[in-house]
Amino acid sequence: MQLLIAVMILFNIFVLNTYQMNPWYSALAWLALGIVAYFLFGLRNRVPAKFVDIMQLVFIYCMGYELITYLSGLILGFVRSPYSMQITMIIKNIAPFLVMIVAQEVLRFAVISRYKKDKWVIVSITLAIILFEVFYGIGAYDLSSASEIVKMLTILVGGTITKNCLCSYLVYRADYKPSILYRCIFELIIYVVPIYPNLGEYIEAMVAMIFPVLLMVSIIALFEKKQYRKPKKNLWEMLILWVPAIVVMLFIVALQTGVFKYRTMAIGSQSMYPNISKGDVVVIEQYNTDEEYRSIVEGEVLVFKHDGIIIVHRVTKVSERDGRLVFNTKGDNNNTADSYDIDQSQVIGVARFKIPFIGAPSVWLSETING
């Protein structure tokens, strides 16, 4: 057993790291290790104590995390995923990492369930997976820079350690299913959603280190209860409750960030008062083609970007310069027209209608955070 752990660690450091640009090499290598562990140690078939409770707890924590982070993105902003959202590309991107996750957790479970009373073995298998993930991701950092080293230690190393400690504890208390569920939600979501919250590197690092600890503490507390109560809801009932809420939340976020043809935006000033007030939400039809830009006429409410700020003002003049449209604008509540011209490349779209007041909490939170 000790020899197998040692081989895994050396294999991770010196072999898999060489092929880190192609995840299929690592996925297939882990799959081979998982198959070997399965035949060497087998998999326990019995349902562990409080298995359903653990699965529910993992699912609730993960869904709660996604809900909170995506709602925070309404204040902190969102960034677009660098990955294609075509079905074939989603499958292509997810497949190697899904294979890797399942193989790693099956391997972890096979080893820990066989040597459950040997703490050295549990620590060793956890360390082997941590070393692989650290060496796999270290290429993304410039280690000649002190700031990059700090980022690597906090984001990569810290998050990897706490995550794998949690996964080993989940496997120790239950089996491989809760850890696979946890990792799939956290590690694969970036490949299936077009946008994700712009939390910033250090907030993301703190969350990556703290969240697994909180979940582990909750599971420990679950096992410290003297009386075991059968859960009132099974996992499928939890899915029925949570999935619609998550779908609605993602739809609202998508409207806010411009994934669809129409998007929403909360108004943060009184420059368009009384027609549009601070705290109102405007529904914007986004424009992307020359034909759409040429359909804009005087009097429409234009949404455009100027000096990195999105502005909603009324069109006062449309002209053409060197084959490109130029717009002049003015806020209804402003005494003078805007002093700059708006090129068609700066146009986001046209505000079609407003929903009064519902954006006020978002505006207040944004002003509070930004001072």
Q: Which of 56-60, 200-204, 292-296, 339-343 has the lowest mean pLDDT?
A: 200-204
pTM of the full structure: 0.64
Per-domain residue ranges of the chain: 2-227, 262-370
Distance (Å, whole) CA 163 – CA 215 = 10
**Token pair for 194:** 């077009």
Distance (Å, whole) CA 339 – CA 227 = 71
**First-to-last C-alpha distance (Å) of the chain:** 58
DSSP state of 204: H
φ, ψ at 302 (rounded to 5°): -90, 140
Distance (Å, whole) CA 319 – CA 293 = 12
Across residues 251-268, what is the average pLDDT? 67
Q: What is the pLDDT of residues 73-115, one digit of tens each?
A: 766 667 778 888 888 999 999 999 999 999 999 989 988 888 8
What is the predicted pLDDT for the residue at 205? 75
Closest alpha carbon to 131 in 16, 28, 2: 16
Q: Find out whether 167 and 182 touch, Cβ atoms under 8 Å.
A: yes
Whether residue 279 is predicted with pLDDT greater than 80 in this model: the reply is: yes
Fold of the CATH domain 262-370: Umud Fragment, subunit A (2.10.109)
CA atoms within 13 A on the CB side of 366: 18
Which residues does 142 contact at the CB level (< 8 Å), separation at least 6?
148
Distance (Å, whole) CA 292 – CA 349 = 9
Q: How confident is the model at residue 318 (pLDDT cuts 50, 70, 90)?
A: very high
Residue 358 CA from chain centroid, whole number: 26
Q: Find out whether 280 and 100 touch, Cβ atoms under 8 Å.
A: no
φ, ψ at 317 (rounded to 5°): -160, 140
Angle between helices 2-14 and 119-137 (to 10 degrees): 10
Q: Which of 42-46, 129-133, 147-151 has the lowest mean pLDDT?
A: 42-46
Closest alpha carbon to 18 in 114, 127, 139, 123: 139
What is the predicted pLDDT for the residue at 121? 84
Q: How confident is the model at residue 222 (pLDDT cuts 50, 70, 90)?
A: confident
Where does the chain have alpha helices with state H?
Answer: 2-14, 23-41, 51-76, 87-114, 119-137, 146-151, 159-173, 176-188, 201-224, 235-257, 290-294, 360-370
**Token pair for 48:** 């562990």
Distance (Å, whole) CA 25 – CA 100 = 10
